[in-house]
Amino acid sequence: MSECVQTALITGAGNGIGRAIALAMADSGRKVSCADINLDDAQRTVQAIEQQGGVAHALKADVGSIAQIEAMIKDTVSVFGSLDIIVNNAGVTRAADIMELTEDDWDRIHRVNAKGVFFCLQVAARQMIKQGGGGRIINIASIAGKGFKGTSNAAYSASKGAVISLTRTAAQQLAKHNVNVNSICPGVTTTEIVEKLSIDRAKARGISKEEMMKEMSKDIPLQRANEPEDIAAMALFLASIGARNITGQSYNVDGGLVTS
């Protein structure tokens, strides 16, 4: 990786985990490209970074589109001169029982969560290799991909399992270019997506959102859900010199919910 100021690209940077990672990367002194399907959300993250004295750039990107992924990488390099770190965070889901899932659900979820992560990884790796090799690819998976029973739905679990498997294979094949590939598997995390899931589940159960969130967190050994900053802390570590010899791994950040 370059010894100059590094550039980090975060997908889904407008809210939740992506926003927290973007802020943390900027706070660590990196230049940050904030990509989101909602440009206004990306711009708000950039404004927050700039208010803290950081350097950031907002761009609109649908990671389900290869053309938009390529444009996103090109735009980032055009603005900042390089791409050293990418965090593939953008993701979608909905609350649904396995018997309720439709073909449209499957296609929508896998288009972003699996296809999007793969092609973001591939296009980013091409850029890192073009720069002379070296880089960090961090995929946001989920403990759902490891069999967590509280997952939002089976299609989501399958998509995150794909990310975990992709991380292993990509790490093996990109190691010769000194590109590290790892993933983070969050557990229950207080994001907008989880809040919506809790509202939907609460309505279905006839209970309050607060009761639903309490129920979703009751089995966590540490007795607390993640804040987005907990995931950001792991992303910072995986992007650091301390993680230079770590690749192909998928780390749970879940308060102890899943132990494999």
Give the residue numbers annotated as catalytic, written as ranges.
156
Residue 206: C-alpha distances to residues 70, 98, 114, 216 (Å): 45, 21, 33, 15
186: nearest Cα among 238, 248, 257, 137:
257
Burial class (CB in 10 A: 0-12, 13-18, 19+), 104: exposed
> Is-contact 43 37, C-beta < 8 A?
no
Number of residues assigned to the chain: 260
Compute CA 42 distance to the chain's CA centroid, rounded to the nearest angstrom. 15
Give the separation between CA 229 and CA 6, rounded to whole angstroms: 21
Q: What backbone phi and psi angles, to 5 degrees, belong to 34?
A: -105, 105
Q: What order of strands is seen across the sheet that includes strand 56-60?
A: 56-60, 31-36, 7-11, 85-88, 135-140, 179-186, 250-253
